[in-house]
Amino acid sequence: MRVLVTGGAGYIGSVVAAQLLAAGHEVTILDDLSTGHSDAVPQGAHFVKGTLRDCVAEVLADGADAVVHLAAKSLVGESMADPSKYWSGNLGTTLTLLEAMRVIGVRSIVFSSTAAVYGEPERTPVLETDPLRPTSPYGGSKTAIDTTLTEFARLFGLAPVSLRYFNVAGAHHVAGEGGGWLGERHHPETHLIPNTLAAATQGRPLNVFGTDYPTPDGTCVRDYIHVTDVADAHLRALDACEPGRHRIYNLGSQAGFSVREVIEVCRDVTGLDVAVTEAARRPGDPAVLVASSERIKAELGWTPTRDLRAMAADAWQFTQAQARAQADRAAAEGPGQSNAAAEGPGQSNAAAEGPGQSNAAAGGPGQSNAAAEGPGQSNAAAEGPGQSNAAAEGPGQSNAAAEGPGKTNAASEAGPSPKAPGPATS
């Protein structure tokens, strides 16, 4: 089959594309790389960089038998701050895709829907027939797409399958030449397992959002599914596409794990300690989200085969592979320029050090720290509404700038260079 994978340079999309290729399908990936990575495009896939709005009609007209549609905006918090981005970026772009499919005559589509369509479920495990009460524009936009797919099936004989993901985790290993690990690389990263692994490697505490939920240990309970199992469900869904019928399946394991339990598994897999900061609840987090996966088991024969430990272990392999690749790149670059940038909702730290020019920039709503040090020119900049600290140090020129409504500290210290502006605090 010739399959168009939208969002195929992203975390889940790249694994779906890799599995499709391994199963002998022809794969075209359309991705604007706004959140995806060109190096995640699996070898053998045809890659088109562009947006659905601009390119999808042309790409489909080139030849496609089916679409797996993953391209989307997917941050719940961002959707609360900027709803239009989600209605237009998710529902609007999907309408463009569906209209092009209708005109060109492509019927089969597997759509990545989400547990967020259920909002705060009244009972668990959640069934596909339970009420849809999204609590965010992200969940709302996905719910609206599911409704549109039902209508297009009824009115135009579209053959859609919606897969409602619960918590996707882990990493996928592609064997052979050009293979390697495909995993999660979001900026900013909001998901629990990658954040726990990052905290473990960087020796900083992990924020646990909410410890007073009505759950056994007070932290939220989620249903985690390995990304390889998720991709497998897409291949089964493609085979099940049926004109005029909208199939909808939850993708879960029917088992829940608390935030504390996930952290414990990550500690065990890495052999590293993870310090924890008990933080306030994150707005919009339901206490328990666990899926019933009876329907997909009965109709498509799908069951998850990899447990939480395998998810944490594979995500850890991916994290280490990324660190090795980064070290290799730095070594290959030699004594030239060193750059570090950090941005995220929590504390952001960037540090660059090297014999050449060193640049560090940190920004984000939490505390931002940037430090640059080296015998060449050192530049550090921190900016954000929280506390901003920037420090540059070295015998060459040193520049530090901190800016923001919170407390700002900038210090640059240099040896013999006359250009150093000296310490500044505001």
Please report how close the Cβ of residue 376 comes to ligand UFG at its closest, in angstroms: 35
* Angle at 181 (CA atoms; ends 195, 86), nearest 5 degrees: 55
Q: Which is nearer to ligand UFG, 125 or 374 (CB)?
A: 125
Give, in degrees to the nearest 5, the angle at Cα 38 between 307 and 235: 45
Tell me 34's DSSP state. Answer: S
Region 175-214 residues binding ligand UFG, contact defined as CB under 6 A: 190-192, 195, 206-209
What b/e readout covers 327-351, taking b as 16+ CB neighbours within 10 angstroms?
A: eeeeeeeeeeebebebbbbbbbbbb
Verify binding: residue 300, ligand UFG, rule CB under 6 A. Answer: no
User: Hey, is 412 helix, strand or coil?
Assistant: strand
The reply to whether 222 sits near ligand UFG by the rule CB under 6 A is yes
* Residue partners of 258: CB distance under 8 A and separation at least 6: 215, 216, 217, 219, 220, 221
- Alpha-carbon span 161 to 296, nearest angstrom: 11
Residue 408, beta-bridge partner list: 388
By CB under 6 A, residue 94 contacts ligand UFG? no
- Residue 167 binds ligand UFG (CB under 6 A): yes
Question: Binding residue for ligand UFG (CB under 6 A) from 52, 68, 116, 161?
Answer: 116
170: nearest Cα among 194, 153, 134, 195: 194
Residue 181 or 213 with smaller CB distance to ligand UFG: 213
Q: Which is nearer to ligand UFG, 74 or 228 (CB)?
A: 74
Q: How far is CA 200 from CA 84, 272, 338, in A?
A: 36, 6, 24
Largest CA distance in the chain: 76
Q: CB–CB of 13/31 below 8 Å?
A: yes
Q: Which is nearer to ligand UFG, 43 or 277 (CB)?
A: 277
Which residue, 215 or 339, has its beta carbon nearer to ligand UFG?
215
Interface stretch with ligand UFG, choices 19-27, 110-118, 173-181, 244-252 (CB under 6 A) = 110-118
Segments of 145-220 assigned E as strands: 159-165, 167-169, 172-174, 180-182, 206-209
* DSSP bridge partners of 369: 349, 389
Rounded CA-CA distance 278/120 in Å is 23
Q: Does 21 bind ligand UFG (CB under 6 A)?
A: no
231 binds ligand UFG, rule: CB under 6 A: no
290 touching ligand UFG, by CB under 6 A? no
Question: With respect to ligand UFG, which residue has the nearer C-beta, 76 or 269?
Answer: 76
User: Shortest approach of ligand UFG to residue 363 CB, angstroms?
Assistant: 18
Determine, following the binding rule CB under 6 A, whether residue 115 of this chain makes contact with ligand UFG: yes
* Residues tagged active-site: 138
DSSP type of residue 62: T
Min separation Cβ 11 and ligand UFG, Å = 10
Least Cβ distance, residue 191 to ligand UFG (angstroms): 4
Nearer of residues 11 and 302 to ligand UFG, judged by Cβ = 11
Q: Does 108 bind ligand UFG (CB under 6 A)?
A: no
Q: What residue number has its CB nearest to ligand UFG?
A: 220
Backbone angles phi, psi at 36, to 5 degrees: -85, 180
Q: Which of residues 403-422 bind ligand UFG (CB under 6 A)?
A: none
- The mark string for 256-275 relative to ligand UFG (x by CB under 6 A, - otherwise) is ---x----------------
Q: Which residues ranging from 24 to 83 are in contact with ligand UFG (CB under 6 A)?
A: 74, 76
Q: Interface residues with ligand UFG (CB under 6 A)?
A: 74, 76, 114-116, 138, 167, 190-192, 195, 206-209, 220, 222, 259, 282, 285, 289
